[in-house]
Amino acid sequence: MLVSRYLRLILKDICTHSCLHHFLLEFLGTALFLSASLSAVLMLPLAAGKPGRDLMSAGNQSDLSHPAPPLSPVSPAGPFQVALVFGLSIAMAAVSVGGDVHINPSVTIAMALTLRLRLWRAALYVIGQLLGGVASASLLLGLSRDLTPVLNQVSSGVHLHQAVALETLATLQLVLVVLATVSIPLPGMASPLLIGLAVSLGHLVAVRATGCGMNPARSFGPAVITLNFNNHWVFWAGPVLGACLAAGLNNLLLRPRRSGNWWA
Amino acid sequence: MLVSRYLRLILKDICTHSCLHHFLLEFLGTALFLSASLSAVLMLPLAAGKPGRDLMSAGNQSDLSHPAPPLSPVSPAGPFQVALVFGLSIAMAAVSVGGDVHINPSVTIAMALTLRLRLWRAALYVIGQLLGGVASASLLLGLSRDLTPVLNQVSSGVHLHQAVALETLATLQLVLVVLATVSIPLPGMASPLLIGLAVSLGHLVAVRATGCGMNPARSFGPAVITLNFNNHWVFWAGPVLGACLAAGLNNLLLRPRRSGNWWA
Amino acid sequence: MLVSRYLRLILKDICTHSCLHHFLLEFLGTALFLSASLSAVLMLPLAAGKPGRDLMSAGNQSDLSHPAPPLSPVSPAGPFQVALVFGLSIAMAAVSVGGDVHINPSVTIAMALTLRLRLWRAALYVIGQLLGGVASASLLLGLSRDLTPVLNQVSSGVHLHQAVALETLATLQLVLVVLATVSIPLPGMASPLLIGLAVSLGHLVAVRATGCGMNPARSFGPAVITLNFNNHWVFWAGPVLGACLAAGLNNLLLRPRRSGNWWA
Amino acid sequence: MLVSRYLRLILKDICTHSCLHHFLLEFLGTALFLSASLSAVLMLPLAAGKPGRDLMSAGNQSDLSHPAPPLSPVSPAGPFQVALVFGLSIAMAAVSVGGDVHINPSVTIAMALTLRLRLWRAALYVIGQLLGGVASASLLLGLSRDLTPVLNQVSSGVHLHQAVALETLATLQLVLVVLATVSIPLPGMASPLLIGLAVSLGHLVAVRATGCGMNPARSFGPAVITLNFNNHWVFWAGPVLGACLAAGLNNLLLRPRRSGNWWA
């Protein structure tokens, strides 16, 4: 049939060295990014109820419930340090693994939407990223039995639509920067640094309300390990919406592109 | 008549694709810049009486009057975080939208004064920037009903002439950096980063006294939404004065330019 | 005579357009650098007894004596903010004015010692830098009648030889970076940024013990305005020693240069 | 014999100008890096029980024992400032001395493992780095008689295997970044800055648990001066393990290289 023929073509496209190597790089890049960033956040002495505090004794605490952390008076340096950690980690992971990894499912989605990537490859890369997120989150169990501090949660007092809006805004600017760096020739290693800065900015925007997902793989890993999928859809809806908005804005208004097609 | 003929020529120059596209980019760039920076400042837990604190419960507070915030003991990280947020936001907005947007009316004015831009185009761009500022400020109402924390105000204890002087100084160094990046060929994406650093420096200079305007579009948006135009002229006088000084200093002393004319 | 002939030749070399323009640029660059950095330090709410606190009400305080500030528990963000302000200011001033200004007498001395600059030109540039320092310090009087917070002083509890050693170390690494950026072709605007980072590092090293001079023009301006020359020699001896060490280290060990002579 | 012939060949290879000059640069670079970073950490007012506090009066304190510092509530800015200091110091040292120094024994080991460096040269460079570490640590005695604040120690409450794991992770990402910068042509001075960022990230990961070694020369210097080799093996095992992992990951998965041999 036509379907099976297409499936065989897709499978043939996937089973190439370049595609599988890229899948491996997405896995390694995401694992490296999240191992560095989440362990740093676990280790940083931040304020009460926020991601990144009190790691060593965390396993001893009897936190029976996992309530959404209150919007308590966070230490002023808290959001900045988290933003710095994630920005640096993604930049260093992209430099280490090579500049053309996505590491972030929302970036992969935007690449597919702007016809820079075939759909099945995009799906494969997203799977690699999610596996990398789960792998690094499970490694973190060696540091602390309680991963709640690195879990993305909607803070109490924040409406869900506000959380989605902030996630969308943070992802929108990140993906716009990624699409800009892709469309302009840049000196070596400039794009990882720019993307790191965009990730830092996104955290400054959203970290207090949601812990800042912006990257479904980053939200998915700790959620799987802690089996806490409370409001987890927010960390998929916001980034995916932001990626779609960014792809549309980029291709329609900022840098109108000639047409292409998904299957060619 | 001559006047109507000139008006028709101006209109013809405005109604070109490049001019209207640039107008759109100014609108989008300013809206993106201010959406990211103002929402981040609204979300950051800074100290009492300063821009950027206590957003979620802000709408519930009964702040009947809008007094100028006192120069209370700000948390040390406060000014730095605000400076970081604005510097990153403007750099990411300029990268996203493309490196030749101004985003800032004082930059547009300096470009017109140094004969790099025709006067009517400059006016159009400024209108785009102001519209972008109002649009992003109205989006912020979804986060908090009280936008006072992001309003530029002269702090109590600061004389108006001091506020104007600090705004002038902050804008002077920003516009000098912009004019320097325009006059020298730079590797891709270097000028948005340099301008981001200059914006951060300007905030470190002026944020405690005025909240740091430096960009009339940034001051105008929240002022329109909150209908608080108290001392608003400071945030136009300082930046425009700084832009004029920078344009003069640049063209007369630093990089003397051959003559041109506004209408050619 | 021979002497008068030499003097006439020197005068002729000085009265060229390039030399006087460079003199003007040194004046403008230093004035811009110190106006931005010192006013930011005056405005930042740092901890007790350190540079950069309590500016608005400072003129009202009755500080009869100018004792060396005690090594009191500074707010942790203090040194970092001062380092950031000075690093950003010097980078932005160098970008604005043009990349080949020195702004710092110790850099000028190292340039003369490594035979990159004639002695009388070096002296002229140093005069321009000192004048720029005095000019910007006098402008600061409009912000606060008490400039003690921006005065470089040896903190109590710090021995003078420790202060000189720290100033020497801070200047040594700065001048080594300057000499490295001069000897290697770099992409545009890279050297101001590198020098800004070196200035920030120097402040992190020395700011708590001496307020970090590293630049005699920066120390000289506030000292002249406040007429407080207490231990002022430290801020000349340390930087000059650091510049000599850096020039020797650079030319003898790191990048051995062919011989030249001062008068050619 | 064959052995003595080989030894003579090795000795001949070592006694070349380039090799001895590189040995000297490793010594100078490490000494400069650690003089700047350790003195800055000694001077920074950080929180109790952490590296980098209370320097001036430290010599007067009667700290009879050298217990591992407790994981007390560190000031939030602490880890960030330490990360900034080390990142800036290594970047400035690499810029000053020249971009191809290693400064870090684990980098040298990774270079040897990836066949970019002969084994005996690697050994010589490591000796130079260790000497540089001891030299700078002994210079620090002029600032404070107690170097415990800059000693790398495993914090109490941190298991040894956790400490080794964090050191390994921090070094892994650093060496991956170094190997990436070596294998791609970069604009001048980009690699010192990238490596500085990686060093900062490593400190954010490991500084609270171990003070962050990541560089055996940095751990060795203060340990020799204070004669405190308590758990010192952690600061060799972690970095060496990280370097081996990075070399394998880089050459086998990320950037497969053609074969070479150690003796050619």
Q: What is the pLDDT of residues A235-244, one digit of tens each?
A: 999 999 999 9
> Which range is least confidently modeled, A40-54, A110-124, D221-235?
A40-54
Residues from chain C that touch B167, judged by Cβ atoms under 8 A, are none
Which of D56, D191, D194 has the highest number of chain C CBs within 10 A, making it the mutation to test binding with C?
Answer: D56
- Whether pLDDT at B83 is above 90: yes
In this prediction, residue D127 carries a pLDDT of: 96
Find the closest chain D residue to C202 by CA distance. D36
Residues from chain A that touch D48, judged by Cβ atoms under 8 A, are none
Average pLDDT over residues D17-41: 93
Which amino acid is it at C62?
A: S
Find the closest chain C residue to D193 by CA distance. C194
* Cα C172 to Cα B248: distance, rounded to the nearest angstrom: 37
Residues from chain C that touch B194, judged by Cβ atoms under 8 A, are 95, 189, 193
Looking at the partner chain, which of A76, A91, A143 has a beta carbon nearest the beta carbon of D197? A91
CATH architecture of C12-53+72-254: Up-down Bundle (1.20)
The token duo for D60 is: 């007067």
In this prediction, residue A12 carries a pLDDT of: 86
Find the closest chain C residue to D53 by CA distance. C73
Average pLDDT over residues D8-37: 91
Residue D61 or residue B100, greater confidence: B100
Residues from chain A that touch B77, judged by Cβ atoms under 8 A, are 76-77, 80
In this structure, are residues B218 and B133 in contact, taking their beta carbons and an 8 Å threshold?
yes
- Whether pLDDT at B183 is above 90: no
Which of A178, A197, A210, A212 has the highest number of chain B CBs within 10 A, making it the mutation to test binding with B?
Answer: A197
> Which range is least confidently modeled, A36-50, B186-200, B217-231?
A36-50
In this prediction, residue A45 carries a pLDDT of: 59
In this prediction, residue C257 carries a pLDDT of: 59
Closest CA to D194 of B40, A187, C60: A187
Average pLDDT over residues A49-73: 37
The mean of the pLDDT values for chain A is 84
- Whether pLDDT at C251 is above 80: yes
In this prediction, residue B149 carries a pLDDT of: 87
Confidence of residue D257 (pLDDT cuts 50, 70, 90): low
In this prediction, residue B78 carries a pLDDT of: 77
In this prediction, residue B66 carries a pLDDT of: 40
Closest CA to C150 of C168, C164, C138: C138
Overall fold of domain D13-52+75-254: Glycerol uptake facilitator protein (1.20.1080)
A176/B32 CB distance under 8 A: yes
- List residues of A whose CB lies inside 8 A of any B CB: 71, 73-74, 76-80, 157-158, 161-162, 165-166, 169, 172-173, 176-177, 179-181, 184-187, 190, 194, 197-198, 200-201, 204-209, 249, 253-255
> Which range is least confidently modeled, A181-185, B254-258, D117-121?
B254-258
Subunits next to D (3 or more Cβ pairs <8 Å) are A, C
DSSP H or E stretch at residue A53: none
- Whether pLDDT at A68 is above 60: no
Confidence of residue A48 (pLDDT cuts 50, 70, 90): very low
Residues from chain B that touch C95, judged by Cβ atoms under 8 A, are 176-177, 180-181, 194, 198
D45/C73 CB distance under 8 A: yes
Q: How many CB pairs under 8 A join C and D?
A: 107
Average pLDDT over residues A142-158: 88
The mean of the pLDDT values for chain C is 84
Confidence of residue B60 (pLDDT cuts 50, 70, 90): very low
In this prediction, residue C68 carries a pLDDT of: 38
Closest CA to A22 of A133, A109, A127, A136: A127
> Which range is least confidently modeled, A69-73, A176-180, A214-218, C188-192?
A69-73
Looking at the partner chain, which of A24, A96, A193 has a beta carbon nearest the beta carbon of D173? A96
* Cα A223 to Cα A221: distance, rounded to the nearest angstrom: 5
Find the closest chain D residue to C180 by CA distance. D96
Name, in order, each residue with C-beta under 8 angstroms of B8's C-beta and a sequence gap of 6 or more: none
Find the closest chain B residue to A166 by CA distance. B39
Q: How many CB pairs under 8 A join A and D?
A: 110
Residues from chain B that touch C143, judged by Cβ atoms under 8 A, are 162, 165-166
Q: How far is CA B69 from CA B49, B164, D47, in A?
A: 5, 17, 32
* Cα D178 to Cα D194: distance, rounded to the nearest angstrom: 8
In this structure, are residues D71 and D154 in contact, taking their beta carbons and an 8 Å threshold?
no
Confidence of residue C55 (pLDDT cuts 50, 70, 90): very low
The mean of the pLDDT values for chain D is 84
Helical H segments across A99-252, by residue range: 105-113, 119-140, 160-183, 190-210, 216-226, 234-248
Q: How far is CA B6 from CA A221, A258, B120, B141, in A?
A: 64, 37, 11, 42
Average pLDDT over residues A180-189: 86
Sign of the C-alpha dihedral computed for residues A113, A119, A125 and A128 taken in this order: positive
Residue A18 or residue B127, greater confidence: B127
In this prediction, residue D45 carries a pLDDT of: 59
Looking at the partner chain, which of C45, C47, C78 has a beta carbon nearest the beta carbon of B74? C45
In the 8-state DSSP scheme, what is residue B250? Answer: I
Most trustworthy range by pLDDT among A135-144, A168-177, C52-61: A168-177
* Cα C173 to Cα C180: distance, rounded to the nearest angstrom: 10
Superfamily of domain A14-52+74-254 in the CATH hierarchy: Glycerol uptake facilitator protein. (1.20.1080.10)
Which amino acid is it at C214?
A: M
Confidence of residue B137 (pLDDT cuts 50, 70, 90): very high
* Cα A164 to Cα A108: distance, rounded to the nearest angstrom: 19
Closest CA to B105 of B122, B86, B82, B80: B122
Find the closest chain A residue to D70 by CA distance. A56
Residue C194 or residue C59, greater confidence: C194
Average pLDDT over residues D150-161: 90
C43/B249 CB distance under 8 A: no
Which amino acid is it at B35?
A: S
Average pLDDT over residues A184-189: 82
> Which range is least confidently modeled, A89-98, C38-47, D20-29, D190-199?
C38-47
Subunits next to C (3 or more Cβ pairs <8 Å) are B, D
In this prediction, residue C3 carries a pLDDT of: 87
* Cα D66 to Cα D230: distance, rounded to the nearest angstrom: 9
D176/A96 CB distance under 8 A: yes
Average pLDDT over residues C228-243: 95
CATH architecture of B13-52+74-254: Up-down Bundle (1.20)
Task: Please tell me the distance in Å from A17's CA to the nearest CA on chain D.
Answer: 12
In this prediction, residue B136 carries a pLDDT of: 95
Subunits next to A (3 or more Cβ pairs <8 Å) are B, D
Domain ranges across chain B: 13-52+74-254
Residues from chain D that touch A25, judged by Cβ atoms under 8 A, are 254
Percent of chain A clearing pLDDT 90 (strictly above):
58
B44/A204 CB distance under 8 A: yes
- Whether pLDDT at D243 is above 70: yes
> Which range is least confidently modeled, D1-5, D32-36, D94-98, D100-104?
D1-5
* Cα B151 to Cα B154: distance, rounded to the nearest angstrom: 10
Subunits next to B (3 or more Cβ pairs <8 Å) are A, C
* Cα D66 to Cα D57: distance, rounded to the nearest angstrom: 17
In this prediction, residue C143 carries a pLDDT of: 86
- Whether pLDDT at A135 is above 90: yes
- Whether pLDDT at B115 is above 60: yes
The token duo for B36 is: 């990211």
- Whether pLDDT at B190 is above 60: yes
The mean of the pLDDT values for chain B is 84
